[in-house]
Protein backbone atom coordinates (compact mmCIF):
# COMPACT_ATOMS: atom_id res chain seq x y z
CA UNK A 1 0.00 0.00 0.00
CA UNK A 2 1.38 3.40 -0.98
CA UNK A 3 1.40 6.23 1.57
CA UNK A 4 -1.16 8.92 0.95
CA UNK A 5 -0.17 12.28 -0.50
CA UNK A 6 -0.90 14.14 2.74
CA UNK A 7 1.33 11.69 4.71
CA UNK A 8 4.19 12.31 2.28
CA UNK A 9 3.68 16.06 2.60
CA UNK A 10 3.63 15.83 6.40
CA UNK A 11 6.82 13.74 6.42
CA UNK A 12 8.55 16.24 4.14
CA UNK A 13 7.46 19.18 6.32
CA UNK A 14 8.79 17.41 9.44
CA UNK A 15 12.09 16.80 7.67
CA UNK A 16 12.37 20.50 6.79
CA UNK A 17 11.65 21.49 10.38
CA UNK A 18 14.08 19.01 11.92
CA UNK A 19 16.93 19.30 9.41
CA UNK A 20 18.25 22.65 10.76
CA UNK A 21 18.48 21.05 14.21
CA UNK A 22 21.34 18.93 12.86
CA UNK A 23 23.61 21.99 12.59
CA UNK A 24 25.83 23.03 15.45
CA UNK A 25 24.89 25.98 17.66
CA UNK A 26 26.17 29.00 15.67
CA UNK A 27 27.72 30.48 18.83
CA UNK A 28 29.58 27.34 19.89
CA UNK A 29 33.19 26.67 18.92
CA UNK A 30 32.08 23.97 16.49
CA UNK A 31 29.33 26.17 15.05
CA UNK A 32 31.78 29.01 14.36
CA UNK A 33 34.30 26.54 12.91
CA UNK A 34 31.71 25.13 10.52
CA UNK A 35 30.49 28.55 9.43
CA UNK A 36 34.11 29.44 8.68
CA UNK A 37 34.48 26.23 6.62
CA UNK A 38 31.24 26.98 4.76
CA UNK A 39 32.33 30.51 3.87
CA UNK A 40 35.99 29.80 3.08
CA UNK A 41 35.93 26.34 1.50
CA UNK A 42 32.36 25.63 0.35
CA UNK A 43 31.21 29.07 -0.83
CA UNK A 44 34.73 30.39 -1.60
CA UNK A 45 33.73 33.72 -0.07
CA UNK A 46 36.77 34.92 1.86
CA UNK A 47 35.09 38.18 2.92
CA UNK A 48 32.26 36.18 4.50
CA UNK A 49 34.84 34.14 6.46
CA UNK A 50 36.39 37.22 8.12
CA UNK A 51 33.87 37.64 10.98
CA UNK A 52 34.76 34.14 12.21
CA UNK A 53 38.49 34.90 12.47
CA UNK A 54 40.91 36.66 14.80
CA UNK A 55 44.68 36.85 15.21
CA UNK A 56 46.82 34.85 12.82
CA UNK A 57 43.79 33.38 11.02
CA UNK A 58 42.49 36.87 10.21
CA UNK A 59 45.93 37.92 9.00
CA UNK A 60 46.22 34.83 6.77
CA UNK A 61 42.71 35.37 5.42
CA UNK A 62 43.46 39.00 4.59
CA UNK A 63 46.60 37.83 2.73
CA UNK A 64 44.48 35.36 0.75
CA UNK A 65 42.01 38.15 -0.08
CA UNK A 66 44.84 40.41 -1.23
CA UNK A 67 46.40 37.64 -3.35
CA UNK A 68 43.08 36.85 -5.06
CA UNK A 69 41.99 40.45 -5.75
CA UNK A 70 40.52 40.77 -9.22
CA UNK A 71 39.65 37.06 -9.40
CA UNK A 72 35.85 37.06 -9.36
CA UNK A 73 34.06 34.05 -7.92
CA UNK A 74 30.48 34.16 -9.17
CA UNK A 75 27.86 31.95 -10.84
CA UNK A 76 30.06 31.51 -13.92
CA UNK A 77 32.96 30.19 -11.82
CA UNK A 78 33.40 26.42 -11.88
CA UNK A 79 33.44 25.76 -8.15
CA UNK A 80 34.45 22.46 -6.63
CA UNK A 81 31.99 20.56 -4.47
CA UNK A 82 33.29 20.44 -0.91
CA UNK A 83 31.98 18.19 1.85
CA UNK A 84 33.49 18.01 5.30
CA UNK A 85 33.11 16.05 8.50
CA UNK A 86 34.60 16.44 11.94
CA UNK A 87 37.24 13.78 12.55
CA UNK A 88 38.93 15.02 15.72
CA UNK A 89 38.32 17.46 18.59
CA UNK A 90 40.91 18.39 21.23
CA UNK A 91 40.34 20.76 24.14
CA UNK A 92 43.08 23.40 24.53
CA UNK A 93 42.57 24.76 28.03
CA UNK A 94 39.40 26.44 29.24
CA UNK A 95 38.92 28.77 26.30
CA UNK A 96 40.42 26.84 23.43
CA UNK A 97 39.77 23.84 21.26
CA UNK A 98 41.11 22.48 18.00
CA UNK A 99 39.16 20.63 15.36
CA UNK A 100 40.37 18.49 12.49
CA UNK A 101 37.94 18.24 9.61
CA UNK A 102 38.30 15.82 6.76
CA UNK A 103 37.26 17.49 3.52
CA UNK A 104 36.35 15.75 0.28
CA UNK A 105 36.77 18.02 -2.71
CA UNK A 106 35.27 17.10 -6.09
CA UNK A 107 36.38 19.05 -9.13
CA UNK A 108 34.44 18.47 -12.34
CA UNK A 109 36.76 16.83 -14.85
CA UNK A 110 39.61 16.56 -12.33
CA UNK A 111 38.32 13.96 -9.87
CA UNK A 112 38.14 13.90 -6.10
CA UNK A 113 40.73 14.40 -3.42
CA UNK A 114 40.77 14.74 0.34
CA UNK A 115 42.49 17.21 2.64
CA UNK A 116 42.40 17.71 6.34
CA UNK A 117 41.82 21.15 7.79
CA UNK A 118 43.02 21.96 11.30
CA UNK A 119 41.17 24.83 12.97
CA UNK A 120 42.40 26.29 16.24
CA UNK A 121 39.64 28.07 18.14
CA UNK A 122 39.77 30.57 21.02
CA UNK A 123 36.99 32.15 23.02
CA UNK A 124 37.21 35.82 23.93
CA UNK A 125 34.74 38.52 24.97
CA UNK A 126 33.21 38.48 21.47
CA UNK A 127 32.75 34.70 21.39
CA UNK A 128 34.52 31.87 19.59
CA UNK A 129 36.88 32.67 16.73
CA UNK A 130 39.20 30.75 14.42
CA UNK A 131 42.69 31.93 15.46
CA UNK A 132 44.65 29.68 13.10
CA UNK A 133 43.98 27.21 10.31
CA UNK A 134 46.05 24.94 8.13
CA UNK A 135 45.54 22.24 5.53
CA UNK A 136 47.40 18.96 5.24
CA UNK A 137 47.13 15.57 3.58
pLDDT at residue 40, as a whole number: 96
In the chain the domains, ranked by start, together with CATH numbers, are 24-136 (3.10.450.50)
- Return the pLDDT at 22: 52
Q: Give the separation between CA 51 and CA 130, rounded to whole angstroms.
A: 9
Residue 106 phi/psi, 5° resolution?
Answer: -115, 120
What residues have CB less than 8 Å from 133, skipping those under 6 apart? 36, 57, 60, 117, 118, 119, 120
- Each residue's pLDDT, cut to its tens digit, for the chain (137 residues) gives 555 545 455 444 444 444 444 557 878 999 999 999 999 999 989 999 999 999 999 999 999 999 999 887 777 777 889 999 999 999 999 999 999 999 999 988 888 999 999 999 999 999 999 999 999 99
Amino acid sequence: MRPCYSCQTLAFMLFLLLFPACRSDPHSARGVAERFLDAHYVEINLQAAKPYCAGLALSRLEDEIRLTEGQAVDESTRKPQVHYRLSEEKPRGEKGVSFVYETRISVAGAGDFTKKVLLTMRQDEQGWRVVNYSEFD
